[in-house]
Structure 1
Amino acid sequence: MMTKKYKIADKVIEVTSIYEKVHDYCKDYETDEQADFSVMTTDEDIVYEKHKTDSEYAYEGLALPNFSKGTLEETAVYRKIGEKMPNYGTVIFHGSVIAVDGQGFLFTAKSGTGKSTHTALWREYLGDKAIMINDDKPMLKITDSEVIAYGTPYNGKHRLGCNMSVPLKAICILTRGEKNSIVRIDKSEAYAMLLQQVYRPQDPLQMAKTLKLVDKLAASVELYKLGCNMDIEAAEVAYNAMKG
């Protein structure tokens, strides 16, 4: 077993793992500060992650993956962290966050819709003005006054992201479309997708906290729906509508 500490979303997490890959994955967040909480993985956690992953791939009709035990343990650590973060007003969210001029924009959608492709168009359109915060699983700290989006080690297969934070201005739900068009939506239109994309704890008390945080999230940031193609005009239309 090996133990190191990481500062993620302003909380210091002591992680004890079986495999070193967990710590290689999180190295950009390492710290020597005092831990706020700790997580530890076991062989049983790895078996659980393999069963869950195989079941998900089988349900989608895909060939079963051959992930290493170290990779499965990374997911187990992520899940254990996700169970604890609602205690600190923070959730893990499945989406892609990009920062422009000190404001964060989060894009979310059903898998395969093109979140990463769309934020790549923003980087092409805006150049160095656009900073990738996290391309897969940012953390959102939700307070009464604002929402802060944080980079995390869990930043997608292309490892796009950085260890920084930004106030979140808007969440945009992506849909495929031949033409690019964006509209402002209200909480009732966005809520189902927000709940689907947030990490939902298995513990009932933590899930109750998460539901309250999702309610607050939906009331705290601007909400949009974007119908888009994969042309750079999609980035132009979205940015001009949301930048304020």
Structure 2
Amino acid sequence: MNNHTHQSTKRFVYGFQIAEHYCTITMPRNNVVENCLPSFGAFLSHNIPVRDPILTIDLQLDSILPEVTNVKLLNNQSIAWGDRFRFEEWEQGYITSIQSEGGLKQWKMFSSKDFKVSTIYGVEKELENTNILSWLFMVAFGQAALIHHTLLVHASVVQIGRNAVAFLGKSGTGKSTHSKLWCNYIENCSLLNDDNPAIRIKEDGTTWIYGTPWSGKTACYKQEKARLVGAVRLEQAAKNYWTPSTPKLSLLWLMPSFSALRWNSILFESMLSSLELIIKDVNVGKLSCKPDEEAVRISYKHAFDKENITGADIDVKNLPFVYSVK
């Protein structure tokens, strides 16, 4: 395991590789990272890369919070945390706050403007029985990675060989259901991530999607990647039909599933530039559908519709639709 011990302060530095980016978290020595971040096991890094981490987090437990002034509230509602959440800006960066379950204490993350450096002030008794630390890590990674052409996306992703297809849509649309249908009806299809995979655009313009430690209610934490060939926006309907995209429609269909601070022009523009690259490389469309076999057939056909996004080990022109009900 890659960790460096600071004997004087009894703290460990743990390294992780997420979407081929190196990140670190420093935490008290008596806290076992596998207990605090149980979904991160496959992402622990055993080697120290030459390059600097894109994200460093320092975890402080039950510590005195720094005094800050001129704080501006940007948002106080969260799907995950409801009114327990606050997101604020101050002169040195941003503050993400989550009220503890007991209501008497707060978790606070102080982040630099680019989110490369964050300090989390946590509640020790909640460290191992809540996912607050993991969620704050996700927030910091999602913003810090943007300038590296890497984006977290709210999607469910299936993988066939070296290729992958992402299903996007509002909560409750049926993203996980559609992934399950693909896995049931398509041979050698498996789930890569069910909630928050990472998309990275390489220097050659190709788009890759990665498993991450964040997969919602489904325990699918894979240290794997695949070439993203299709991004399908789902909506429920009485019958199945496919709507092809234009560049403008692609942006409208993709953008709600990605996150960047609209108050930070550098991060927001980084997200937009990456989305433009994704649209050039990935087949995007909208599927209005029922949860049935026909919907799988339609989305499968159109997801593999571009010759220039063929994976090295799959010839989509000759790839049969194979049933393998599991």
What TM-score comes out, normalization by structure 1 length? 0.85
- 1:1-244 map, 5 Å: 2-17=12-27, 20=33, 21-34=35-48, 36-37=52-53, 38-42=56-60, 52=78, 53-55=81-83, 66=101, 68-69=126-127, 70-127=130-187, 129-143=188-202, 144-201=204-261, 203-244=264-305
Cα distance in 2 for residues equivalent to 1:155 and 1:121: 18
Q: Which residue does 1:61 correspond to in 2?
A: none
Name the CA shift for 1:208/1:56 in 2 (closer, same or farther; >3 Å): farther
Larger Rg: 1 or 2? Answer: 2
Name the CA shift for 1:180/1:17 in 2 (closer, same or farther; >3 Å): farther
Cα distance in 2 for residues equivalent to 1:33 and 1:145: 28
Q: How many residues align?
A: 235
1:4–1:23 contact (8 Å) kept in structure 2: no
Name the CA shift for 1:111/1:42 in 2 (closer, same or farther; >3 Å): farther
Q: Offset at 1:3?
A: 3.2
Cα distance in 2 for residues equivalent to 1:149 and 1:209: 17
Gaps of 5+ in 2: 1-10, 66-72, 86-98, 103-125, 306-326
Secondary structure of 1:179's match? coil
Letter matched to residue 48 of structure 2? Q
Bigger share in helix? 1
Q: Offset at 1:9?
A: 0.6
Q: Offset at 1:210?
A: 1.5
Name the CA shift for 1:203/1:3 in 2 (closer, same or farther; >3 Å): farther
Letter matched to residue 240 of structure 2? N
Bigger share in strand? 2
Name the CA shift for 1:185/1:50 in 2 (closer, same or farther; >3 Å): closer
Name the CA shift for 1:177/1:214 in 2 (closer, same or farther; >3 Å): same
Query: Per-residue displacement from partner, 1:140-160 (whole Å, max 9, x unpaired)?
Result: 111352100011010121113
Name the CA shift for 1:134/1:75 in 2 (closer, same or farther; >3 Å): same
Cα distance in 1 for residues equivalent to 2:100 and 2:195: 19
Identity %: 20
Taking only aligned residues, the RMSD between alpha carbons, in angstroms, comes to 2.9
Letter matched to residue 29 of structure 1? F
Cα distance in 1 for residues equivalent to 2:267 and 2:27: 23
Name the CA shift for 1:183/1:149 in 2 (closer, same or farther; >3 Å): same
Q: Offset at 1:88?
A: 1.8
Compare relative contact order (CA 8 Å, sep 6+) and give the higher one, 1 or 2.
1
Cα distance in 1 for residues equivalent to 2:272 and 2:178: 28
